[in-house]
Amino acid sequence: MHSNPCYNLISALEGFNSTIFAYGQTGSGKTFTITGGAERYEDRGIIPRSLSMIFGEMKKYPDRQTNAYISYLEIYNNQGYDLLNEDHQNTKDIEDLPKVSMLEDEDGNCHLRNLSMHRVASEEDALNLLFLGDTNRAVSETSMNLASSRSHCIFTVSLESRRGGGSEVILRSKLHMVDLAGYRAHKTGAKGKVLREATYINTSLHYLEMVIVALHEKNTKGRSHIPYRNSMMTSVLRDSLGGNCKTVMVATASAEKEQTDRVARVRNDAHLNEEVDPVILIRQLKAQIAALQEELTVLKGDVKEGDDLKEYEKDKLRQKVVEYANNPDADAHLNMGEISYTKMRLCFGFLKAMITGDSATAIRENKALLKKKYDTAKALAATVNEARNSIKELTAKMEKLRTDKAVASVITTNLSTTIESGLVSDDEMAIVAAIDAHKRAYKVGFNQLNDLKKEIQHVQKMLEMGRLKLQKDFDGWYQAQGRGHLVTETLVNKQDVAVGEECIQKDDIPKTGDAAVDKDVTGFYEALDILKRRNSRKL
């Protein structure tokens, strides 16, 4: 049953509101259908199976950032109560708990006050909340059901999903799973409190029927007013019954066929619930404004020639160009700071080098840059170590000075000397000042060393990428050349041409411009010639 009508309701992950509710007389199996049995795993109800399916679908899309929240509302005697309220354990009467009140905004949307929302990170967390809420439900023994539900319960899973890539669109959706109470007072002979509960249950179900009839007449006769406000249950399920929602009703008794037929005639118009994250949207709009301002500056001809950049400024600009080229966002913006023709020429040069694939030159430049940064790092490390050692020496000197001073104050009997011993001497003040200076130097050097470490890692990554690109380009070139050699070798063998004519001359070996790489290429071709000679001898 769950795999057919309820699977489509998991479209809540796609941004659609969904609802499942069970309807039928008392003892017909509504609660068992919704929550399931507590003894066997096979007797799981719609809620546990839906939770398992939701978290299973969430794992299929690791690039999406999805948050799930759980709430459990009980409507008892037309009053709302939070089944996940921590005060449930310490309260004997449910009516002593804080009541959940309804608020309606100007758009007609219903908001619930005093209803807690619990964030869950796994299926296990959600099931624990379900079991906690079930233990707090109001039940009573009747002649038709030993554990009859005395209230309507709504288990809600609220989802917030954001697509990958830092999208500004947030999908917000809700999945309601509703267990409606059912009662037949004349069949059970209810009296007193149980009769009062039955009256509220039947009254709320009557209002539910009125809403369903009105929705059917709205679809067929054009009725405009729907009496949602008659009861709390119809107000909470407003979207589920006739609004933006995919709804499935499970009828647990054939005697209610007339009511289920009416529900089947109701048509809902479900649409995607999308919201725009203002923070990301503002960031994107600021980037667009900056890009348009730069474009306007260029069109007006206000771009300055600009001074020659220093090496570290060129490195930063090159890094920005690489980040811009590797950014998968089609609307990415290259932020070069204040625009100048010097920066523009450098950026175009960096892009040209990346496109033309001058990998050997890039490797040489990155090697030189890496060596320079290694030297700088060694110098900074020496400065940091020197400052640390100086701090240790000065601290030891300070301790010795204070120890000597304390010993002298104990030995002497002069009162003035004892008083003066509690004062800070000039030597101590000088040592403290020196320690502070070395600490500042240590902190500055340590921070610079950390920043330099990040830059070294970035250059190492660029160097590795250049090597991989060079190898990839060479493999592609050699594969194209290899096919020609294979055809040539076949023709030579057929015509019995001397082996020496098949060999590639050293002057014909292509050069890359990098001595180390050229040496490897030459060695490769020499090994290939030796292999060809051996194969020809066997023939």
Residue of 89, 149, 90, 79 lying closest to 115 (CA atoms): 79
- Per DSSP, the residues of 137-148 read S-EE--SS-TTE
31 is in an annotated binding site: yes
Strand segments, DSSP code E, in 89-183 are: 99-104, 110-113, 118-120, 139-140, 148-149, 152-162, 169-179
29 is in an annotated binding site: yes
Tell me the pairing of strands 274-276 and 169-179.
antiparallel
Measure the CA–CA gap between 207 and 209, rounded to whole angstroms: 5
27 is in an annotated binding site: yes
Measure the CA–CA gap between 454 and 448, rounded to whole angstroms: 10
Sequence-distant (≥ 6) Cβ neighbours of residue 496 within 8 angstroms: none
Measure the CA–CA gap between 16 and 274, rounded to whole angstroms: 9
Residue of 480, 536, 539 lying closest to 503 (CA atoms): 536
Name the percent of the chain in helix, strand, coil, to the closest 5: 60, 15, 25
448 is in an annotated binding site: no
Measure the CA–CA gap between 419 and 406, rounded to whole angstroms: 12
460 is in an annotated binding site: no
Tell me the C-alpha to C-alpha distance, in Å, between residue 307 and each of 311, 313, 338, 343, 509. 13, 11, 12, 9, 43
26 is in an annotated binding site: yes
- Taking a C-beta distance cutoff of 8 angstroms, is the pair 264, 38 a contact? no
30 is in an annotated binding site: yes
Backbone φ and ψ of 119, nearest 5°: -80, 135
Sequence-distant (≥ 6) Cβ neighbours of residue 115 within 8 angstroms: 71, 73, 80, 82, 100
From the annotation, which residues make up the binding site?
Answer: 24-31
From the annotation, which residues make up the binding site for ATP?
Answer: 24-31
